[in-house]
């Protein structure tokens, strides 16, 4: 199975740490974030990954060369940032024939059982399935409303007056039909430009496990104390390919 690992952001909220180190190579409890994601993908049978980068591309390329092992890892360098959706559209041929593919935000840590999320996605048969979880500050997130059938009935990115605290986690499963909803303009963002367009055609999977967006200095430092490690993941029941 294939996955986009979105790592192209400048990491401005993590400065000065990202002045010389790409965000995806910052360590959590001594382990680079990219290695954590490589381990997640191996655990769940995801054997092809496309990583987008903008700054510090040479450092990321070297790390991939030293640590990709038996995975197919493709590095997509963006001279100018295309946005989370723009990266996917620029590489649409890579996933055009897939039944489903993953989209991960690289600055998210999670112990979620991805096989359970995949089974939920396949059962619901929608354009996409997003992982959702409760957050303390919904004004900083994409906020979701979900109906009794598990379908997303509303999605607002970073609302000024949030109606709830159920947020998009940065974990997502998509089908090639998602590509039709991405505008050709650049940059194009999933939260602002795509997910609101597919409300009613998108399912929400509630994450009960550890999820943390470590995109700020505050949350990055908190992760050093609270990240339980992948050993805390639930039994994943074998790889899905």
Q: Is the pLDDT of residue 198 over 60?
A: yes
pLDDT in tens, 58-78: 888 888 888 888 889 999 988
How far is it, in rounded angstroms, from Cα 162 to Cα 156? 8
Average pLDDT, the chain: 89
Other C-beta atoms closer than 10 Å to the C-beta of 3 total 24
pLDDT in tens, 19-29: 878 888 999 99
pTM equals 0.91
- Enclosing H/E stretch for 135: none
Residues 6+ apart with CB under 8 A from 124: 150, 151, 203
Given the structure tokens 């590095």, which residue do they identify? 75
pLDDT at residue number 23: 85
pLDDT at residue number 93: 95
pLDDT at residue number 241: 33
How far is it, in rounded angstroms, from Cα 241 to Cα 230? 20
pLDDT at residue number 235: 47
pLDDT at residue number 232: 52
pLDDT at residue number 29: 94
Given the structure tokens 């605290």, which residue do they identify? 165
Residues 6+ apart with CB under 8 A from 194: 85, 178, 181, 182, 183, 188
Among residues of the chain, what percentage have pLDDT more than 70?
Answer: 95
Q: Is the pLDDT of residue 236 over 50?
A: no
CB 167 within 8 Å of CB 129: no
More reliable by pLDDT, 235 or 1: 1
pLDDT in tens, 82-130: 999 999 999 999 999 999 999 999 999 999 999 999 999 999 999 999 9
Helix (H/G/I), strand (E/B), else coil: 154: strand
How far is it, in rounded angstroms, from Cα 7 to Cα 77? 10
Tell how far CA 233 is from the center of its chain. Answer: 17
The full DSSP string for 168-228 is: EEEEEEE-GGGGGGS-SSSS--IIIIIGGGGTTSEEEEE--S-EEE--SHHHHHHHHHH--
- Provide the pairing of β-strand 202-206 with 128-134: parallel
Integer-rounded Cα Rg, in Å, for the chain is 17
- Structure confidence at residue 49 as a pLDDT band (50, 70, 90): very high
pLDDT at residue number 11: 60
The alpha-helical segments, DSSP class H, found in the chain are 33-43, 57-67, 84-90, 92-95, 114-124, 217-226
Q: Is the pLDDT of residue 6 over 60?
A: yes
Domains of the chain in sequence order: 2-230 (3.90.550.10)
Phi, psi (5° rounding) for residue 6?
-85, 110
What value does the mean pLDDT take over residues 136-149? Answer: 87
- Structure confidence at residue 138 as a pLDDT band (50, 70, 90): confident
Q: Is the pLDDT of residue 191 over 80?
A: yes
- DSSP annotation of 44 reads T
Hey, CA dihedral for 141, 146, 150, 152, is it positive or negative? negative
Among residues of the chain, what percentage have pLDDT more than 90?
Answer: 66
């Amino acid at each position: 199975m294939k996955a986009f690992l979105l790592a192209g952001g400048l990491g401005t909220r993590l400065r000065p740490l990202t002045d010389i180190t790409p965000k995806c190579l910052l360590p959590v409890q001594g382990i680079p974030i990219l290695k954590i994601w490589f381990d997640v993908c191996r655990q769940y049978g995801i054997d092809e990954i496309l990583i987008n980068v903008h700054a510090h591309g040479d450092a990321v390329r070297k790390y991939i060369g030293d640590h990709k092992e038996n995975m197919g890892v493709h590095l997509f360098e963006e001279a100018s940032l295309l946005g989370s959706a723009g990266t996917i559209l620029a590489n649409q041929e890579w996933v055009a024939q897939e039944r489903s593919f993953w989209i991960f935000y690289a600055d998210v840590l999670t112990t979620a059982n991805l096989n359970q999320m995949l089974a939920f996605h396949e059962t619901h048969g929608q354009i996409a399935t997003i992982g959702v979880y409760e957050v303390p500050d919904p004004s900083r997130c994409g906020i979701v409303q979900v109906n009794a059938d598990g379908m997303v009935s509303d999605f607002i990115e970073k609302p000024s007056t949030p109606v709830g605290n159920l947020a998009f986690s940065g974990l997502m499963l998509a089908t090639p039909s998602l590509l039709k909803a991405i505008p050709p303009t650049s940059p194009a963002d999933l939260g602002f430009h795509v997910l609101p367009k597919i409300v009613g055609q998108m399912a929400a999977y509630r994450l009960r496990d550890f999820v943390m967006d470590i995109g700020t200095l505050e949350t990055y430092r908190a992760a050093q104390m609270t990240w339980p490690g992948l050993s805390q993941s639930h039994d994943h029941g074998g790889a899905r390919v």
